[in-house]
Structure 1
Amino acid sequence: MLKVLSTSWALLLGLMLLMLGNGIQGTLLGIRGGIEGFATWQMSVVMSAYFLGFLGGSQLAPHMIQRVGHVRVFAALGSLISAVLVLYAAAPDWVAWAALRVIIGFSFAGVYVTAESWLNNTATNETRGQTLSLYMIVQMVGIITAQGLLNLADPGGYVLFVVASVLVSLSFTPILLSISPAPSFSSAKSMSFRKLFVISPLGCVGIFLMGGVYSALFGMAAVWGGLVGLSVLEISMFVAAIYLGGLLFQYPIGWMSDAMDRRQLIVGVAILCALVAFGAALVQLPFVLMIVVALLIGGLANPLYSLLLAHTNDFLQADDMAGASGGLLFINGVGAIAGPLMIGWLMGQVGPRGFFLFIGLLNGALGAYALWRMTRRSAPEPADQGGYTPLTPAVSAVTLEAAFEATQTEQGEAENAHSQGS
């Protein structure tokens, strides 16, 4: 991993600065919306709008790159992000915020596609798995650190929006100065959703449900914190704990997934996450225990995305990877758009506890469906499974396809080593 860091540190530094800016704006808007007196349903529309834009950007960015090139797309969309971050403070209106969130979601998707293309181009077959793992760590550390920066200034002012804008602007410098010649980029052959569902019903249903959970955690946690009267410091700690849990739990869960039927692990993790969430919804806990709840929910929900990807990859052929990655990303995006809207409605019906009820319901549904799928198809032997690559739902199809290829490469190397040993 040190070798990867030595060759890609500038790209990773730029990506971390991007995550700092994105991490600030996600939580800051939830806090500022409460200060401005926006209703929960209004904030759910604002938060959902980001994922609508992100989905659109994920679909259109490859075509934009083919037409005008990586550098121009990166520079243009990065400038839009910086501008939008400042405009939030200048236009404190929920309708304006929703429109701006579509733009910034679209722009971040395009920036991620471009930057991840460069990062993937620096990796070799031997280092690709380590590169992806390091990228996931950078993403998580960036978002966690961003929560601490929220305490530098009054969220009711404009300084924090400027800080986020400056961080995103600074991210361009290490990325643009460190890149090698832009990698070739071609649009992948698409795969029909019907074919993808036939290949992995659990992968499709699970990725959709986890899209809703991820967007709820990323978009509505700060809104929930404001409704229950948490301070800015407490909200930032709660959100940071969600992502810290996701970072800490990824690797032990991944290690277990490589040694057993992944569906059993999906059932266990999803049901445990549902029980924790239902418990938080039914029992009023002191803040210290709420941090524990955030750690557990983040630590259990985030790895489920990687588990579902690994499970799907176990049934993919090499020439299906690119099409499957695009299809799964789209399914995740639709779930992410629906997540804030559904949780906003539920919180409007039952109050703040609807935040945890929603997370519990979706994880419970995933656990039940995975349990049923175990009766419909036998699992591959653990030795025949591909590897587990820790990822977050924030990655683009570029990284998703690279993760599929990395695990297939690792599996092939393991099979060759086994045959030579025999």
Structure 2
Amino acid sequence: MHAIRPLIPLFIAAGILLAGNGVQGTAIAIRGAQEGFSTSLIGLIGTAYFVGFLLGCLYITRLLNAVGHIRTFAALAAITASGTLLLVIIVDPIAWLLIRFAVGFCFSGLFTTIESWINSGVRNETRGRVLAVYRIVDIFAVTGAQFMLPAFGAGGFTLFAVMCLMITLSLVPVSLADRSNPTPPAEFRFDLKGIWALSPLACIGCVTIGATNSAFRLIGPLYAEGIGLSISDVAVFMSVGILGGAVLQYPLGYLSDRFDRRTVLLVTTAGAVASGLFLASMAGTSPSLNYLGIFLFGAFALPLYSLSAAHANDHAKAGQHVMVAAGLMFFFSLGASIGPYLSSAVVELFGPNALFTYTSVVHGALIVVTIWRMRARGPVPAESRGPFSWLLRTSPVFPKMARGNNGNDARNGSTSDEASSIDRPQ
């Protein structure tokens, strides 16, 4: 507890941001439908967010190096809060596209700032506890935030005002925390050709996972509403899916540490296909069956990113893990930029149940790629595999933090492996 106490203000800020980010996508989907936006237009607005998020990953370290953590956080939080209010002041598709692009850029920068700050205060001997606390904050914040929808409703001004208040209040713990301004992280290198050479499966997997998980997060509320669920039920539906993703992370990670990760990835992807088809066939039958289906979908679909990243890191050499973390985040964001629009177009053409037909088809393609790569390359020896880590897709800093890299290896000449050899959390 002594090691975590100085980080509590940052955990509070992170929790507020995770909650605000978690509910905003859901609220925009529901509100857009109420305003008469087409499903494909809502999907395009979701795509704009992830394009902004991707650019934020590319450029935020320059801003941190230029003005430091506190000023960067304050500026991005102010823009995000203003953008959230503008969503309800200017209800216009073009305006929403531009606002969500800017908000995506800012959220990427905010998470990078928070996580690099937390990482700078973590020692190897306390790293596991800090990561556990951060993951708990993530689960409770994102899951609990969904219930702001039935509490305030997606119509009117209130929900957007509350989200603006949350983002604004995240400035308080960051501004008043008794901490010095940490050294900014080294700029992330996106050697996409090098990462592809390391593991084509991990790259394709992250694109696939981005295309399906973003569809669940941003078009899932429209599916739930389209099959007749109330606003309260939509909140439960999204929360159950997110909780499902938390339940199987470590069991699947445990298995992937002991068997060929690609076999675990193959079985897990097959589970995502089966649960997606179950949801597509059960659409509108009963809420309990849909809750069961989305729990299973989340349990199998959401851990796929961490499994893919672990497989890529098994092939990485000393000093390449930062590059891998940044590159896989790029590939995920690329898929996430495509997923909302593509899935929304499918839903608009074929109805709500087509959303999970779409995810099953995309996951099915990943099964084909996995089998191809298993034929093309042998498994990584057990002694060469690093421990599985549950990775959040909030910024490229988090995979570095999970591996025990202090973010300054580019400055002091050490490698990622040298920084992480003391303690790698299970």
Q: How far apart are residue 313 of structure 1 and its match?
A: 0.7
The offset of 1:191, in angstroms, is 4.7
Q: Which residue of 2 aligns with 1:171?
A: 170
Where in structure 2 are the equivalents of 1:123-142 lying within 5 Å? 123-142=122-141
Segment of structure 1 superposing worse, 145-154 or 333-342: 145-154
* Residues 41, 341 of structure 2: 8 Å contact kept: no
| Cα pair 2:403 2:420 within 8 Å, conserved | no
Matched residue, 1:420 = none
Report Cα offsets for 1:169-224 as digits up to 9, x if no partner.
11121223225222222544625322211111111110111111121112111122
TM-superposition CA deviations, 1:238-288 (whole Å, max 9, x none):
111111111122122122221111111000000111011012213443111
Once residues 48 and 190 of structure 2 are traced to their aligned partners in structure 1, the CA distance between those partners, rounded to angstroms, is: 26
Would you say the 8 A contact 1:12–1:138 is kept in 2?
A: yes
* Unmatched segments (≥5 aa) in structure 2: 406-415
Determine if the alignment matches structure 1 residue 292 to structure 2 residue 292: yes
Shift of 1:230: 1.8
- The residue aligned with 1:72 is 71
Q: Which runs of 5 or more structure 1 residues have no equivalent in the other structure?
A: 416-422
Take 1:89 and 1:193, find their aligned partners in 2: how far apart are those partners?
38
Inter-partner Cα distance in structure 2 for 1:413 and 1:381: 21
How do residues 237-248 of structure 1 correspond to structure 2 at under 5 angstroms?
237-248=236-247
SS at match of 1:374: helix
The equivalent residue for 1:15 is: 14
Provide the rounded CA distance (Å) in 2 between the counterparts of 1:414 and 1:124.
9
User: Mapping of 1:85-164 within 5 angstroms?
Assistant: 85-164=84-163
8 Å Cα contact 2:125/2:423 also seen in 1: no
Deviations along 1:299-340, one digit per CA (max 9) or x if unpaired, are 111111111111111111121122222211111111110000
Q: Secondary structure at the match of 1:390?
A: coil
Q: Which amino acid aligns with 2:57?
A: S
CA distance, structure 2, for counterparts of residue 4 and residue 144 of structure 1 = 27
8 Å contact 1:132–1:403 — kept in the other structure?
yes
After TM superposition, the structure 1 = structure 2 runs for residues 199-348 of structure 1, keeping only pairs within 5 Å, are: 199-284=198-283, 285-348=285-348
Residue 173 of structure 1 aligns to which amino acid in structure 2?
Answer: V
Task: Encode CA deviations 1:86-117: one digit per residue, 9 max, x unaligned.
Answer: 11111122221111100111111111111111
What is the identity, as a one-letter code, of the residue corresponding to 1:159?
T
- 1:414 is displaced (CA, Å) by 8.4
Q: How much has 1:44 moved relative to structure 2?
A: 0.6
2:26 & 2:188 partners in 1: Cα distance? Answer: 36
Q: Where do residues 11-50 of structure 1 align in structure 2 (5 Å cutoff)?
A: 11-50=10-49
Cα separation, partners in 2 of 1:345 and 1:305, compared to 1, 3 Å: same
Identity of aligned residues (%): 31
Deviation at 1:233, TM superposition (A): 0.4
Q: Is the 8 A contact 1:261 1:379 kept in 2?
A: yes
- Residue 357 of structure 1 aligns to which amino acid in structure 2? T
Match of 2:357 in 1: 357
Shift of 1:341: 1.1
Q: Which aligned runs of 4 or more in structure 1 are off by greater than 6 angstroms?
A: none
How far apart in 2 are the matches of 1:179 and 1:318?
35
SS class of match (2:142):
helix
CA RMSD of aligned residues (A): 2.0
The TM-score normalised by the length of structure 2 is 0.92
Q: Summarize the alignment of residues 380-391 of structure 1 with structure 2, pairs less than 5 Å apart.
A: 380-391=380-391
1:130, distance to aligned residue in structure 2 (A): 3.5
Q: 1:28 to 1:111 in 2, by over 3 A?
A: same
Code of the aligned partner of 2:120:
N
* TM-score scaled by length of structure 1: 0.93
3-state SS of paired residue (1:233): helix
Distance 1:186 1:152 in 2: 39
Amino acid at match of 2:292: V
Mapped partners of 1:179, 1:52: distance in 2:
35
The 1:254–1:3 alpha-carbon spacing in structure 2 relative to 1, beyond 3 Å, is: farther
| Contact 2:124–2:422 (Cα < 8 Å) also in 1 | no
Which sits farther off after the overlay, 360-369 or 278-287? Answer: 278-287
